[in-house]
């Protein structure tokens, strides 16, 4: 093996492999888990991860699997799911919606502070109205950017609002004290 | 734990053993789903209709997997054959995990447990998670907590009584001053009586005496309070620290180090301050409030009613106003905190900022944070200045009524109220003024009480926690030979996640054993069980045929030596660190142990020899040197069983070779159990125990296992491949310049 080949081989590991969407063939196995045929190789039970979940739901999706030694092996990254065929897109989107189930907050009715580090947020989400209890709210009810509100309740369920400025005036007034 | 939560439409709970609701199905859509378990199968209902049906034995294992925003229950035969049974948001995660555990138990033993015996980790009263507490600190009986707290004053009750006595006397003297004032005004100032100078001088002297006595009482009170406060704080801190060291690892690991430090120092000192400041003042202020109310009602009940009647309503309004102000100040505090963090970040990372040329971006970030803080602080001040004058005015509104009606009484314009002298009115208004100070103070009391009761609950929880790994009544001090047996051992740090599953093996005395397997497979857990840092969930671990739960912990741990990957050196000298486990060792023994551990040579080169301070975490020593001190410590300890948990993992090959010589000396004739990721380190082990997914996969010598081509063979091959790749990656770049160019 000459030195040039060694050099190429070494940097292969560091390179971000963008997957060719036309060659990707995702399918559901019997247990409803997603497997993949790509470039002549078969991968069972692949792990799909949104690399930038708060900024984009459909771009930069990592496709990986655990090998026999339980080591993380990344097959590559889907740059934009829009390049997938319609049925492939649907399958992947369905899986990711499950994995990242995170109702979007559309209205905040009230926030009550019980003076013990817990707040109770009465809000409307895309999955219905809910009052959630947030512990240690300085850390679990906060702005990730100037616009994005991120909330994790005591049970570990997550909620988000992509842009609080788009909420109605009353919701903003309620939120003002807490964010 | 209740695992029978709700039944699907058209069914009764009594039809099932367990029934749990789930809410996600198909494209993460909300559904009304139920997972029901009967004696032989699992039924999945969606909107009351039976959707899926599984026999317990359809899968080898059931598990709950946490995704990012929800969780799912999975049935699994192996990595390739698994099925998602249902998905749910996390409210009932623990309940689903418990159902999986019960079904798995049935699959391995054939016994179906019908009642879950684990505790609900939520407070039954407020529903909030208990977070490792045995009782909800927010819902614990406040009276019980405070009576326990006051009970701790018992040893200092004499001095504490002096403090209370002085404060009460001082408050009573305060009541005397307005009375003297009244006599002065009515008898000397108003009639312009210049003939009784003696009486006037006596009254002035009395006023001076009141001031002098008050000063003395304050001094005595402060001295007594400080004595009680310091001693009480010391007692609390010491007791919490003693108890913390006595707790089992499973109790300790439920709490973070920060949390424990908080309890030892912050919570204890909060209680200390409360007991001698707020607690004592609460008694005194309430007392003075009662005395003042009695006096004003005795002086003139009608005027007194005018002063007291608006108070409840006013208190309600003022409390709300206070809460609003508090929230705005809290917000300003958060922004100030964010500003400090940013400043801290920027100044610590100033090299990075300069090298990346991002000064302008950082300045902009700082400007935004600073502006947000300024705006929030200014808003809080505006709210405060709007609310406070109004709140204070309304609180003291009774005084204006008293002044108005009191003046009318002096002028005798309302005969039904009776008459009043000027001195009496001034005395009365002084007393009414004395009502408001305790009231302002008492308004803050509920918040203080809530805060302190939480701290008290946290402190008492530790003080009253009974450790779950405790010595049996009939435990023995065993002279250990070194035979260790694992008999069908099951164990998990969390109930829903068993780490060791049905592990059975026998380790003979005097031999060396290596435990190998992937990360997280349960290697360190086996060691924790031998040390009895945790108790097994099922099965038993025994030493020389005696269950370790029957051996006293002190006797067990004094005969087991441990060398870990990261050696913790306590603040002190090399000598103190070596003798940590045997403080009475002679200097000859210490040097001999250091020589065996190959530590003597480097210690003699240190400036102060064995008296060299090793400082915080021993950072002044290299990793290899710290390990050698740990080995010397273990040799001096003279254990019957040696545990090496990745003892040489963080060292380079050359240092590892040197340390290995020390370790070989240490292990001679002792049962040795070693864990190492670098499998070559274990090549001279008498036997290897190979774990795979928490189960014992195979045992044998290196050669036997290589011939078998099982899990161990796979591990060795994978490691060889990685080593080769590393070697390639470490070879010089073809285009790189030579080092001396």
Overall domain count for chain A = 2
pLDDT digits (tens, 9 = 90+) for A34-88: 889 998 888 888 989 999 888 888 999 999 988 766 678 889 999 999 999 999 9
Chain B contacts of A92, Cβ < 8 Å? none
Q: How far is B72 from chain A (nearest CA, A)?
A: 9
The residue segments making up the domain with residue B506 are 483-559+681-727
Q: B369 lies in a domain?
A: no
Is the domain of B157 the same as that of B286?
yes
Chain B contacts of A8, Cβ < 8 Å? none
Mean of the per-residue pLDDT values for chain B? Answer: 82
Is the domain of A82 the same as that of A118?
no
Q: B52 lies in a domain?
A: yes
Is the domain of A72 the same as that of A120?
no
pLDDT band at B740 (very low <50, low <70, confident <90, very high): very low
Q: What's B42's domain CATH number?
A: 2.30.29
Query: Could you say which residues from 262 to 281 on chain B have a Cβ atom under 8 Å away from some Cβ of chain A?
Result: none
Mean pLDDT check: name the lowest of B86-90, B447-451, B702-706. B447-451
Is the domain of A12 the same as that of A75?
yes
Chain B contacts of A135, Cβ < 8 Å? 128-129, 131
Q: B585 lies in a domain?
A: no
CA-CA distance, B84 to B32, in Å (whole number)?
17
Q: Per-residue pLDDT averaged across B453-469, rounded?
A: 75
Q: pTM of the full predicted structure?
A: 0.62
**Nearest residue to B600 via CA among B565, B568, B566, B635:** B635
Is the domain of A110 the same as that of A93?
no
Please measure the distance between the N-terminal and C-terminal CA atoms of chain A and give it in whole angstroms: 59
Chain A contacts of B325, Cβ < 8 Å? none
Coil, helix or strand for B619? coil
Is the domain of A63 the same as that of A42?
yes
pLDDT digits (tens, 9 = 90+) for B49-75: 998 999 998 998 898 888 888 898 999
Q: How far is A20 from chain B (nearest CA, A)?
A: 25
**Residue B733: its pLDDT value, please?**
41
Is the domain of B105 the same as that of B18?
yes
Minimal Cα distance from B84: which residue of A?
Answer: A31
Tokens, residue A154: 């005591």
Pick the last residue of a domain from B74, B109, B144.
B109
Q: How far is A22 from chain B (nearest CA, A)?
A: 24
Chain A contacts of B66, Cβ < 8 Å? 156
**Residue A124: its pLDDT value, please?**
95
Is the domain of B689 the same as that of B543?
yes
Q: Per-residue pLDDT averaged across B151-178, rounded?
A: 87
Query: Could you say which residues from 577 to 596 on chain B have a Cβ atom under 8 Å away from some Cβ of chain A?
Result: none
Is the domain of A89 the same as that of A145?
no
CA-CA distance, B277 to B206, in Å (whole number)?
29
Is the domain of A56 the same as that of A137?
no
Interface contacts A/B by beta carbons within 8 Å:
107
CA distances (Å), origin B137, targets B132, B537, B555: 11, 28, 36
* For residue B616, pLDDT beyond 80: no
pLDDT digits (tens, 9 = 90+) for B234-246: 888 888 888 888 7
Q: B459 lies in a domain?
A: yes
Longest dimension (CA), chain A: 69
Those residues whose C-beta lies under 8 Å from the C-beta of residue B212, and which sit 6 or more positions away, are none
CA-CA distance, B81 to B59, in Å (whole number)?
9
Q: Do B26 and A94 touch (CB under 8 A)?
A: yes
The residue segments making up the domain with residue A164 are 105-176
**Residue A144: its pLDDT value, please?**
86
CA-CA distance, B464 to A121, in Å (whole number)?
34
Is the domain of B186 the same as that of B269?
yes
Coil, helix or strand for B238? helix
Is the domain of B99 the same as that of B144?
no
Is the domain of A119 the same as that of A68?
no
Is the domain of A19 the same as that of A73?
yes
- Contacts of the segment B494-499: beta carbons below 8 A, 24+ positions apart: B495/B94, B495/B97, B495/B98, B495/B101, B495/B118, B496/B64, B496/B94, B496/B97, B496/B98, B496/B100, B496/B101, B497/B97, B498/B101, B498/B104, B498/B537, B498/B694, B499/B525, B499/B694
Query: Could you say which residues from 73 to 92 on chain A have a Cβ atom under 8 Å away from some Cβ of chain B?
Result: none
pLDDT band at A116 (very low <50, low <70, confident <90, very high): low
Query: Could you say which residues from 124 to 183 on chain B have a Cβ atom under 8 Å away from some Cβ of chain A?
Result: 127-129, 131, 138
Is the domain of A54 the same as that of A115?
no
Asked if B258 has any chain A CB less than 8 Å from its own CB, the reply is no
**Residue B121: its pLDDT value, please?**
65
Is the domain of B488 the same as that of B462?
no
Is the domain of B462 the same as that of B488?
no
Is the domain of B168 the same as that of B273?
yes
Is the domain of A83 the same as that of A19?
yes
Helix axes B422-443, B311-348, angle to 10 degrees: 50
Overall domain count for chain B = 3
Is the domain of B453 the same as that of B503?
no
Q: What's B157's domain CATH number?
A: 1.20.1560.10
Task: Please give the residue that has the higher pLDDT: either B475 or B192.
Answer: B475
Pick the last residue of a domain from A99, A119, A145.
A99
DSSP letter for each residue of B53-66: EEEGGGSSEEEEEE
Of A10, A45, A177, the CB nearest to B331: A177
**Residue B259: its pLDDT value, please?**
67
Q: Do A157 and B89 touch (CB under 8 A)?
A: yes
* For residue B619, pLDDT beyond 60: no
CA-CA distance, B233 to B228, in Å (whole number)?
8
Q: B673 lies in a domain?
A: no
Is the domain of A121 the same as that of A70?
no
pLDDT band at B367 (very low <50, low <70, confident <90, very high): very high
Pick the last residue of a domain from A48, A76, A99.
A99
């Amino acid at each position: 093996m000459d030195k040039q080949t060694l050099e190429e081989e070494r940097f292969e590991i560091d390179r971000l492999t963008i997957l060719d969407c036309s060659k990707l063939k995702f399918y559901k196995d019997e247990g409803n888990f997603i497997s993949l045929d790509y470039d002549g190789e078969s991968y069972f039970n692949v792990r799909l991860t949104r690399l930038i979940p708060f900024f984009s739901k459909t771009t930069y999706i990592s496709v990986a699997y655990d090998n026999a030694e339980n080591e993380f092996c990344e097959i590559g990254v889907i740059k934009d799911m829009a390049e997938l065929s319609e049925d492939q897109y649907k399958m992947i989107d369905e899986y990711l919606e499950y994995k990242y189930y995170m109702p979007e907050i559309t209205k905040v009715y009230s926030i009550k502070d019980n003076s013990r580090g817990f707040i109770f947020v009465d809000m409307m989400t895309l999955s219905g109205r809910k009052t959630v209890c947030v512990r240690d709210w300085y850390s679990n009810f906060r702005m990730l950017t100037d616009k994005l509100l991120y909330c994790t309740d005591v049970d570990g369920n997550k909620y988000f609002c992509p842009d609080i400025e788009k909420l109605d005036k009353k919701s903003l007034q309620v939120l003002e004290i807490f964010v | 734990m209740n695992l029978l939560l709700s039944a699907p439409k058209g069914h009764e709970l009594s039809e099932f053993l367990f029934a749990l609701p789930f809410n996600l199905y198909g494209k993460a859509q909300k559904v009304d789903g139920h997972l029901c378990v009967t004696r032989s199968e699992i039924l999945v209902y969606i909107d009351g209709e039976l959707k899926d049906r599984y026999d317990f034995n359809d899968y080898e294992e059931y598990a709950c997997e946490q995704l990012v925003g929800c969780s799912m229950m999975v049935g699994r035969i192996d990595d390739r054959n698994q099925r998602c049974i249902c998905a749910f948001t996390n409210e009932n995660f623990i309940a689903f995990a418990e159902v999986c555990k019960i079904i798995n138990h049935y699959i391995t033993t054939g016994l179906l447990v019908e009642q879950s015996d684990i505790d609900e980790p939520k407070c039954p009263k407020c529903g909030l998670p208990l977070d490792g507490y045995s009782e909800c600190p927010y819902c614990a009986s406040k009276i019980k907590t405070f009576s326990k707290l006051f009970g701790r004053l018992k040893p200092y009750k004499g001095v504490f009584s002096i403090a209370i006595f002085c404060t009460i006397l001082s408050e009573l003297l305060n009541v005397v001053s307005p009375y003297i004032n009244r006599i002065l005004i009515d008898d000397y100032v108003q009639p312009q009586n210049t003939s009784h100078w003696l009486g006037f001088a006596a009254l002035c002297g009395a006023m001076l005496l009141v001031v002098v006595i008050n000063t003395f009482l304050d001094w005595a009170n402060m001295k007594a309070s400080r004595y009680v406060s310091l001693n009480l704080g010391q007692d609390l801190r010491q007791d919490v620290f003693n108890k913390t060291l006595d707790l089992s690892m499973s109790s300790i690991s439920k709490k973070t180090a920060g949390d424990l430090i908080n309890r030892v120092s912050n919570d204890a000192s909060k209680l200390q301050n409360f007991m001698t400041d707020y607690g004592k003042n609460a008694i005194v202020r309430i007392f003075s409030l009662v005395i003042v109310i009695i006096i004003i009602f005795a002086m003139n009940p009608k005027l007194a009613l005018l002063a007291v009647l608006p108070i409840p309503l006013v208190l309600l309004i003022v409390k709300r106003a206070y809460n609003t102000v508090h929230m705005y100040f809290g917000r300003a505090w958060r922004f100030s905190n964010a500003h400090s963090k940013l400043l801290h970040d920027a100044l610590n990372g100033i090299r990075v900022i300069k090298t990346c040329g991002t000064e302008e971006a950082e300045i902009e970030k700082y400007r935004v944070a600073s502006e947000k803080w300024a705006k929030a602080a200014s808003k809080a001040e505006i709210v405060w200045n709007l609310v406070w004058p109004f709140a204070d005015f309304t609180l003291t509104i009774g005084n204006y009524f008293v002044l108005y009606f009191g003046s009318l009484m002096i002028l005798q314009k309302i005969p039904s109220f009776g008459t009043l002298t000027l001195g009496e009115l001034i005395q009365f208004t002084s007393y009414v003024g004395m009502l408001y100070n305790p009231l302002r103070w008492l308004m803050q009391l509920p918040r203080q009480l809530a805060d302190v009761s939480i701290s008290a609950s946290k402190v008492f929880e530790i003080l009253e926690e009974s450790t779950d790994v405790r010595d049996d009544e009939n435990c023995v001090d065993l002279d250990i030979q070194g035979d260790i047996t694992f008999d069908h051992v099951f164990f998990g740090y969390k109930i829903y996640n068993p780490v060791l599953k049905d592990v059975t093996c026998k380790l003979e005395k005097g031999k060396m054993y290596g435990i190998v397997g992937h990360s997280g497979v349960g290697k360190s857990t086996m060691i924790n069980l031998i040390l009895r840092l945790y108790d097994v969930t099922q099965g038993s671990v025994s030493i020389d045929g005696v269950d370790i739960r029957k051996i006293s912990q002190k006797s067990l741990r004094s005969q087991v030596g441990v060398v870990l990957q990261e050696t913790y050196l306590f603040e002190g000298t090399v000598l103190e660190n070596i003798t940590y486990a045997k403080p009475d060792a002679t200097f000859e023994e210490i040097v001999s142990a250091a020589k065996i551990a190959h530590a003597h040579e480097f210690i003699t080169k240190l400036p102060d020899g064995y008296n060299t301070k090793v400082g915080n975490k021993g950072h002044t020593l290299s990793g290899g040197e710290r390990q050698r001190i740990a080995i010397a410590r273990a040799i001096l300890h003279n254990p019957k069983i040696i545990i090496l948990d990745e003892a040489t993992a963080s060292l380079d090959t050359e240092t590892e070779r040197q340390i290995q010589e020390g370790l070989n000396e240490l292990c001679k004739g002792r049962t040795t159990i070693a864990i190492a990721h670098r499998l070559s380190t274990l090549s001279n082990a008498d036997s290897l125990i190979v774990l795979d997914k928490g189960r014992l996969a195979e045992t044998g010598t290196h050669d036997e296992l290589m011939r078998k081509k099982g899990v161990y063979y796979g591990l060795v091959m994978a490691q060889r491949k990685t080593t080769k790749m590393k070697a390639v990656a470490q070879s010089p770049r073809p285009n790189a310049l030579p080092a001396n160019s």
